[in-house]
Structures are given as C-alpha cells and as structure tokens.
Amino acid sequence: MTSAEEASRPFAGLSDVSIPDIPVEGDISLPVASSARDDEFSTLDEPVKETILRDLRAVANKFVHVLYPKRSSVLLRDWDLWGPLLLCVTLALLLQGGAADSNDQGGPQFAEVFVIIWFGSIIITLNSKLLGGTLSFFQSLCVLGYCIMPLTVAMVVCRIVLYTASGKVSFAVRLVVVTASFGWSTFASTAFLADSQPSNRRGLVVYPVFLFYFVIGWMILTFSP
C-alpha cells in the first residue's frame, strides 16, 4: 500500500527541499526615461513661435561666437545658413545704388555681392577639402558666412560716415573701420577653420580666405553713395 502511494505521488518529497535565493541579473524595467528624453527633444508638436525664437537664439549665439572667437565648436556642430543669408542680403542692400547715375546700376551690385560671397565661399570650401580638410561642405559655408558680420557692421558705419563727413577725414575713418573689420573677419574665420586643416597646409587655406574678405572690404571702402 505504501509503495502504491509513493508511486502515485513521485514528487511528494520535494516539498521539504529548500531552494536558495538566486539573484536575477538584468534590467526588466521599461525605458521611461529614454522615452521622456526623446519627447523633450522632439519638435514635431512645438509651436511655430517657439521654433522661430529657438532659431533666432541660435543665430544670435553664433554671432556672439564670431565677435569672441575662442575656437568654439558651436559654428561647426550646429551649422545653419540663416545667418549668412541675412548678412549677405543686408550687405547687398547697403551696397546697392552706390555711385549710380541711373537706377540700372543697383541691380548688378546686388547680384555681385551674392556671387562673390556664395561662389567665393564654395571655392574656398573646395580648396579646403582638396587640401585634406575635415569640415563638411555646409560647415565651411556656415563659418565663412557668419564671419562676414564685422564687414557688414563696417558697411553700416561707413554709410553713416559718408553722410556726416567728406573728404580725407571721411576716407581715413572708413579706411580704419574697414581694415579693422577685415582683420577681425579673417581672424575669426581662421580661428574656427585652423584645427580642421593639416598643420603643413594651413597657409594654403588661409590665403584664399584672406583674398575673400579683402575683396568684400575693398567693395565697402570704395563705395560712394
């Protein structure tokens, strides 16, 4: 009888066996924090006003980095072309109509500024890439475009000087302003672009940048309303 009961309950003795607690490894929790971070950086549901203000703050931040170039990677990491486009349009409008005897003179000057800035930036970028530069095409355009800001400010100052003074005094003031802005633009752009070039080829990259800003500065200096 006892043998029959044991045969009918083969696992009856296992109830007295103690099993030690074995720690379970791994993470089975839901990734709530990661999802929250993704929602935080998502701009699909962001209002248009917030998007515009955020972009304007980013552009203003890049202008500050041009005024105080400290080899920051902001211009290179978060590149955009809104600032260069704004500076290009502003400079072209300020140069429009200079030394014009007719209304037809303003058109080519406006187009001339666009051609010099964008085509010149493209040539400098291609030259940098051929010399072994590590920057992308649009990163280089962003840096070269934002560094036009000192020359744009110089153009505003020169127009004010032309309306308030004349003769040698006016030319001397404009020469000092344009020279300082030209030097600042060249210094700021090379401060951002220097680390992206091989050390033995930096001079070959800086020289076209020098010519690029020199031509723009010469246009500003020779402008007459």
> Which amino acid, 82?
W
Q: Give the pLDDT of residue 3.
A: 56
Handedness of CA 150, 151, 155, 158 (dihedral sign): positive
One-letter amino acid identity for 142? C
- The tokens describing 68, both together, are 């105080």
**Cα separation of 83 and 148, whole Å?**
10
* Nearest-angstrom CA–CA distance, 176 and 156: 14
Per-position pLDDT tens, the chain of length 225: 555 555 556 555 555 555 555 554 545 454 444 444 444 455 667 777 788 888 788 888 788 878 777 665 655 677 788 888 999 899 988 887 654 444 544 444 778 888 888 899 899 888 888 887 777 888 888 888 888 999 999 999 998 998 887 788 888 999 999 999 999 999 888 877 777 777 777 778 888 899 999 999 998 988 876
Nearest residue to 68 (alpha-carbon basis) of 144, 133, 150, 145: 150
CA 44/CA 56 separation, integer angstroms: 18
122 membership: H or E segment, kind and range:
helix 120-130
According to the model, what pLDDT value does residue 98 have?
A: 55
- Single out the residue of 183, 189, 194 nearest to residue 217, CA to CA: 183
